[in-house]
Amino acid sequence: MLRGRWRMDNVWIVPDSVFDAGTLQQGRALRLEEGRATTICDLAAVPQGQRLLAVAGVLTPGFVDLQINGGGGVLFNQSPDPAGIAAIAAAHRRFGTVALMPTLITDAPTVLAHAAKAAIAARASRGFAGLHIEGPHIALSRRGTHAAAFVRPLDDVTLETLHDLRAAGVTVMMTLAPEIVTPDQITALTAMGIIVSLGHSDATAEQANAAFAAGARSVTHLFNAMSQMQGRAPGLVGAAINSDVYVGIICDGVHVADDMVALACRARPVAGRMILVSDAMPTVGGPDRFDLYGQEIRLQDARLVNAEGNLAGAHCTMLSGVQRLVRQVGLSLEQALHMAITAPATLLGAAHLGQVAGRSVDDLFVVDDALALHPLSGNIRRDIA
């Protein structure tokens, strides 16, 4: 096994297969130069006389998570600053997530302001893919663990904050309830470059479809905190599944039953529009409890619950989600990696996050036959030529 600082010129590696730009490919070779992957091509196209090194497993870019509340003992709502973002990113990188959106759930306007300043300061930092603002413009009846005291209509304070974020070039996703805002407001947010996502909502299917027509491009954690699908009332769940927008889902065996995850994945009319999210909390890589809104959230039987017994985020990683998608839900590894890398990167308009070429070696991993994840730099086995 080869190790080192990875300051190599003209070295080619040949994995068993490569997940790149949304597909699993065989017979591919990757050139490494100065700690980066510079070229990917067919093995037959590698120039004669080059050193070839074998890699056992599937080479893949790291995961892209659009919904992370915390990690490493840090909750973004409590540490809405660059140090908090860095700590959360470092905690999740250990599990293969190399790009993430720290997520601020419903809170006071001052907390949103601090989070926006942190996002602007961190916009060029390693692993930061943008800011996800989940609430506060949501339905009280579907608030889940979000504090009722901070739920409010869309106001000038939020709009000014969003304007500042976009002016600074920060990618922003905003989860809101379509029955709380108007289609015209959704159109205006979309025109600003905001990725509008529907969630924490009691919307009818008609309201959801009107929001999609107005520019909403995604749905936040399908099945959770939203109007459910019934025979005569599709609700937000039914509208989301029937739509062509991107739909996030938590796959931890707690938030959504595996059979329902499988059903939703099979039923989408446009392939490739399902997105795996972790909805992770500080317990990932941290202690088994933390404070939210002055209440203790504790890990109990693999569930994070608040004092009311409501789910309060998830204790899972993107890696565990990918593993569950393959083992329990029955998806192929290619489909699972698409949900964890390609689809979220596409929604963000950041196709490079789903590609191998141009990436630092530190952003590349190898998945073995047991679905364990390994850093590329520690998984090169032998010379093959």
pLDDT of residue 4: 44
pLDDT of residue 3: 45
Instruction: Tell which residue, 70, 69, 75, 68, has the closest CA to residue 291.
Output: 75
Could you tell me the residue ranges of all domains in the chain? 11-61+356-383, 63-354
> Helices (DSSP H) in the chain: which residue ranges?
82-93, 109-121, 156-167, 183-191, 205-214, 235-242, 258-267, 318-324, 333-337, 343-348
Q: 72-95 burial, b for 16+ CB within 10 Å, e for fewer? A: bbbbbbbbbbbebbbbbbebbbeb
With tokens 């609700």, the residue in question is: 235
For 306-324, what is the mean pLDDT?
90
pLDDT of residue 310: 78
Q: How far apart are CA 188 and CA 202, in angstroms?
A: 22
pLDDT, tens only, 102-121: 999 999 999 999 999 999 99
Two structure tokens written together for 337: 């990696």
The count of C-alpha atoms lying within 13 angstroms of the C-alpha of 262, restricted to the half-sphere facing its C-beta, is 13
Specify whether 288 is catalytic: no
| pLDDT > 90: percent of the chain | 90
pLDDT, tens only, 228-237: 999 999 999 9
Residue 269: is its pLDDT beyond 70? yes
pLDDT, tens only, 181-204: 999 999 999 999 999 999 999 999
Q: How far apart are CA 241 and CA 322, in angstroms?
A: 20
Residue 5: is its pLDDT beyond 80? no
Confidence of residue 2 (pLDDT cuts 50, 70, 90): very low
Q: What is the DSSP string of 55-92?
A: EEEEEEEPEEEEEE-EETTEETTT--SHHHHHHHHHHH
Q: 301 Cβ partners below 8 Å, 6+ apart?
A: none
User: What's the alpha-carbon Rg for the chain, to the nearest Å?
Assistant: 21
Q: What is the DSSP string of 138-166?
A: S-GGG-TTS-GGG-----HHHHHHHHHHH
Q: How far apart are CA 337 and CA 324, in angstroms?
A: 12
Two structure tokens written together for 330: 């029955």
Taking a C-beta distance cutoff of 8 angstroms, is the pair 200, 222 a contact?
Answer: no
Question: Which residues are registered as beta bridge partners of 248?
Answer: 275
Torsion sign (Cα): 143, 149, 152, 156:
negative
pLDDT of residue 381: 61
Confidence of residue 309 (pLDDT cuts 50, 70, 90): confident
Taking a C-beta distance cutoff of 8 angstroms, is the pair 111, 153 a contact?
Answer: no
User: Comparing 351 with 384, which gets the higher pLDDT?
Assistant: 351
DSSP 275: E
pLDDT of residue 6: 41
Catalytic residue, chosen from 107, 279, 291, 383, is: 279
Angle at 114 between CA 109 and CA 119, to 5 degrees: 125
Q: How many Cβ atoms from other residues are within 10 Å of residue 150's Cβ?
A: 18
Taking a C-beta distance cutoff of 8 angstroms, is the pair 241, 247 a contact?
Answer: yes
pLDDT, tens only, 56-100: 999 999 999 999 999 999 999 999 999 999 999 999 999 999 999
**Per CATH, which fold does 11-61+356-383 belong to?**
Urease, subunit C; domain 1 (2.30.40)
pLDDT, tens only, 207-261: 999 999 999 999 999 999 999 999 999 999 999 999 999 999 999 999 999 999 9
Residue 287: is its pLDDT beyond 50? yes
Residue 368: is its pLDDT beyond 50? yes
pLDDT of residue 308: 76
Question: Which residues are registered as beta bridge partners of 291?
Answer: 296
With tokens 């989860």, the residue in question is: 175
Confidence of residue 380 (pLDDT cuts 50, 70, 90): low
Whether the link from the prior residue into 136 is cis, omega within 30° of 0, is: yes
With tokens 């413009």, the residue in question is: 137
> Helices (DSSP H) in 143-234: which residue ranges?
156-167, 183-191, 205-214
Q: What H or E segment, with its residue span, contains residue 322?
A: helix 318-324
Per the prediction, the chain carries an average pLDDT of: 95
Q: How far apart are CA 217 and CA 174, in angstroms?
A: 10
For 264-276, what is the mean pLDDT?
98
**Per CATH, which fold does 63-354 belong to?**
TIM Barrel (3.20.20)
| pTM of structure | 0.96
Residue 40: is its pLDDT beyond 60? yes
